[in-house]
Amino acid sequence: MNINPIVLSIPIFFLLIGIELIIERLTHKNYYRLNDALTNLSCGITQQVSGVFLKLFGIGLYVLVYDHLRLWHIPSTWYTFLILFVLTDLAYYWAHRMSHEINLFWSAHVVHHQSEDYNLSVALRQSSFQVVWTSFFYLPLAVLGFEPLDFALANALTTLYQFWIHTQTIGKLGWLEYILVTPSLHRVHHGRDPKYIDKNHGGVFIWWDMLFGTYQPEEEAPTYGITTPVKSWNPVWANFSHLYLMWQEMKRIPRLSDKIRYIFYKPGWLPKELGGYRPAPEVDKAHYQKYDTPTPRPLQVYVLAHYVMLIALTSWFLFTQSTLGMPLKVAIAMLIGYASVTIGGLLEYRPWVKWAETLRLLLFVLIAAWLHLALGWPAYVLYGTGLYALVSLVWLYKSLWQLIAVQPQPQPAER
């Protein structure tokens, strides 16, 4: 079984999201939109699934450095763990800050900032590739000699802490605002208003921002999202959209030296002959509109029903992946990613989703048949999957396609 604390916390995440939804209804607020929230969850799903295949980074790279390059062995005690926890948060601060200040690193971290809403589901919206860059910032702790298991726990606790701060239901918390990263301070971090951009990078403790000059208290309500909205519910495009933008802009840069600068300088940088650095524009709040697509009730029911199945499949995969062979592991991971893309396509009314969704349902049946015939799984798995696919296909071709046909096509994503 996977003992990753993040995976084990999934039921708690959904419980807290449910509580926040109840608060939203009782207070008549508009914290959630179905299409945005599901895209946030899809990004979290693809991040967790891809993480199964990126074990070299994160704890794997840490163990490698610890085994071969450590200077000392620091014993595992309560007080050394407390020191490690604080140092892990310091390393997180710099990893997070550099993810905002280096264009290549931002290409991964931008995923977490793309949502134009702010709720607990945004905490789960993570990049599939950010670990490739951020894992190196923690290696000094391995060189010092902090044990890998202690680091894994400290890093997980730092990550888990940050879940609850992605909410608008909690106001300012008095004196805690000067010690911890609170919901108010993290709302600032997600603001796209110029005064809020690149502020409050801390994970647990806000004193790093105070010390290094990136502290900003919440004043007026932030406008959430990024300066160039992704305009898509596709989690794969969310992960690659900034890389595509970088590729397009690099083709305009004539000199190789400037291309390298563009990769490692701050997002928005261009050579002087192309206009120079482009600061974040002011938000025209009087005319600002979030990217949105209509989600009629039949579409909501269909998407939610299939999303429950997707979450169940993903949870099973994450808890059992260590017992699966590589071919089956890859096949299921690809199916999970494919399903999250087709759900995004349904929410955008993309023409290609007709055949893509049909193929997805057939793939579910084929994998269920393989599990039954080749691996001896119970027959009810195959029959249940077949019935699920048949009912879905009938609904698709009798109801949803006609509904989607009369919906306006969304504006294309800027790509």
**Residue 415, pLDDT score:** 36
pLDDT confidence of residue 299: 86
Q: What is the pLDDT of residues 18-43, one digit of tens each?
A: 999 999 999 999 999 999 999 999 99
The beta-carbon contacts of 303-310 under 8 Å, at least 24 apart in sequence, are 303/34, 303/38, 303/343, 303/346, 303/347, 304/34, 306/339, 306/343, 306/392, 307/38, 307/41, 307/343, 309/388, 310/45, 310/336, 310/339, 310/340, 310/343
Residue ranges per domain, the chain? 5-212, 297-405
Q: Note whether 112 and 127 are within 8 A (CB).
A: yes
pTM: 0.91
Name the band, by pLDDT with cuts 50, 70 and 90, for residue 386: very high
Q: What confidence tens digit (pLDDT) does each residue in 91-112 have?
A: 999 999 999 999 999 999 999 9
Whole-number pLDDT of residue 364: 87
Please determine, for residue 407, whether its predicted confidence score (pLDDT) is greater than 70.
no
pLDDT digits (tens, 9 = 90+) for 45-56: 999 999 999 877
> In this model, does residue 340 exceed pLDDT 60?
yes
pLDDT of residue 408: 56
pLDDT at res. 409: 55
pLDDT of residue 286: 83
For 141-173, the pLDDT digits (tens) are 999 999 999 999 999 999 999 999 999 999 999
What's the average model confidence in pLDDT over 124-142? 95
Q: Which of 99-113, 209-223, 389-403 has the lowest mean pLDDT?
A: 389-403
pLDDT of residue 414: 43
